[in-house]
Amino acid sequence: MSKIYKHLETKLIHAGEPDPLINGAVSMPVFQSSTFEYTGATSYNDLKYIRLNNTPNHIALHQKLAALENTEAALVTASGMAAISTTLLSILSSGDHFLAQECLYGGTHDFITKDLETFGISYDFIDGDDPGSWEHKLKPNTKAIYVETMTNPLLQVADLKAVVEFAKAHGLISLIDNTFSSPVNFRPPEWGFDLSLHSCTKYLNGHSDIVAGAVIGRADLIEKITHKLNHLGGSLDPHACFLLHRGLKTLAVRVKYQNESALTIANFLEKHSAIKKINYPGLESHPRHQRASELFDGFSGMLSFELNDGVQATERFIENTTLPISAPSLGGVESLITRPAITSHSGMSPKDRQALGISDALIRLSVGIEATEDIIEDFDQALNA
């Protein structure tokens, strides 16, 4: 009898697992084989080969990821940027135009502004919070709309319901980078998005030891993207598949803990006299707290804040903390702290950062799974030092 389950926590463990188990192995084995015996495939894409994204390790992951977001299909890729670039190059071609949210992950922003134009693909940036301003940016050749679940590093929450309605009204493909939320907190296909993108490097793997990506959603689009990835070559290596598969099993326990810990830390920081401003959608003071509460099951482990004093005091604070590691990236079991102006957003001009509200003194924290009390005690001593 097939297994009976409906909740995400159970899907993380059981969805996509081989049935029957391979030689009884409780954990999915690694198929470290580049090619597989020919069994009569009639199409190139059906030959079994690592680059064609169809080894047993790929297939198990694809089924698990699609189940997690309650949708039809998924594809894993060699990095988050491989998922994003391959997807955009699959659904857009020369002469097409698309709309993108103005405050995007740095790599995505650069790919759109520096690379896509050379393929003859044009774009306009939109304010995700102002649906009324989108229509006049539409062109006869507009094909897609691209947003992020929460912006980095300010944790703004765009009008995601309006994005889906707008896409449906104008026949656009809707895409969302769901890295910051993970399927535990938000499942874009349930809200009508066509494609959900992830840097699995972050929460999905969760252990800061691989780079990987995924695109999840409509089967017809995933097939098209898979064929493009087969040509571009950004397939995920089987050993990285194995690590991602293992990391995924604890996603729900990690993310729920990180949600709670981040909220407690945000509450502590909001009340501290040394803090000027804190950005966390779980706080009632967040301008889009209502919207975030309606859309999300949790507010993530990401927050950003500014001290009353400037950049020097900020640097001193980061140096004085003992637990978080000063590093970019996010979503791992260890807390990471960084100043986006010199790391994740250093590629942006100071003027552009200022226009978006990213001050040089802004601190971004990715909350790990350490004891919340230990992080608060550490922050307290570093703020008072």
* Alpha-carbon span 177 to 200, nearest angstrom: 11
Residue 57 or 149: the one with the smaller Cβ distance to ligand PLP is: 149
- Distance of closest approach, residue 205 Cβ to ligand PLP, in angstroms: 9
* Alpha-carbon span 77 to 89, nearest angstrom: 14
The helix/strand/coil state of 325 is strand
- Hey, which residues between 162 and 181 contact ligand PLP (CB under 6 A)? 177, 179-180
201 near ligand PLP (CB under 6 A):
yes
**According to CB under 6 A, which one of 181, 199, 338, 366 is a site residue for ligand PLP?**
199
Residue 56 or 281: the one with the smaller Cβ distance to ligand PLP is: 281
Residue closest to ligand PLP, measured at CB: 80
208 near ligand PLP (CB under 6 A):
no
* Residue 97 backbone phi and psi in degrees, to 5: -130, 150
152 near ligand PLP (CB under 6 A):
yes
What string of DSSP letters covers 260-296?
HHHHHHHHHHHH-TTEEEEE-TTSTTSTTHHHHHHH-
Catalytic residue among 11, 96, 105, 254: 105
Q: Work out whether the CA dihedral 302, 146, 110, 71 comes out positive or negative.
A: positive
366 near ligand PLP (CB under 6 A):
no
Q: Active site includes 218?
A: no
Q: Tell me, by CB under 6 A, how many residues bind ligand PLP.
A: 16
Q: Which residues neighbour 109 within 8 Å (Cβ) at sequence distance 6 or greater?
A: 348
Residue 330 or 383: the one with the smaller Cβ distance to ligand PLP is: 330
Q: How far is CA 369 from CA 203, 280, 335, 354, 362, in A?
A: 12, 18, 7, 32, 23
Residue 36 or 125: the one with the smaller Cβ distance to ligand PLP is: 125
215 near ligand PLP (CB under 6 A):
no
Q: Which residues neighbour 326 within 8 Å (Cβ) at sequence distance 6 or greater?
A: 318, 336, 337, 338
Is the distance from CB of 29 to CB of 211 less than 8 angstroms? no
Is the distance from CB of 321 to CB of 376 less than 8 angstroms? no
Q: Active site includes 202?
A: yes
**According to CB under 6 A, which one of 144, 211, 255, 302 is a site residue for ligand PLP?**
211
- Distance of closest approach, residue 180 Cβ to ligand PLP, in angstroms: 6
Beta bridge partners of 101: 126
- Distance of closest approach, residue 151 Cβ to ligand PLP, in angstroms: 9
76 near ligand PLP (CB under 6 A):
no
- Distance of closest approach, residue 101 Cβ to ligand PLP, in angstroms: 11
Catalytic residue among 96, 159, 177, 194: 177
Catalytic residue among 11, 48, 202, 228: 202
Residue 71 or 152: the one with the smaller Cβ distance to ligand PLP is: 152
Q: Active site includes 105?
A: yes
Length reported for the chain: 385
Nearest CA to 203 out of 185, 190, 221, 230 is that of: 185
Residues 276-295 as b or e (16 or more Cβ within 10 Å = b) = ebbbbbbbeebebbebbeeb
- Distance of closest approach, residue 35 Cβ to ligand PLP, in angstroms: 27
Query: Which parts of this chain interact with ligand PLP (CB under 6 A)?
Result: 79-81, 105, 107-108, 148, 152, 177, 179-180, 199, 201-202, 211, 213
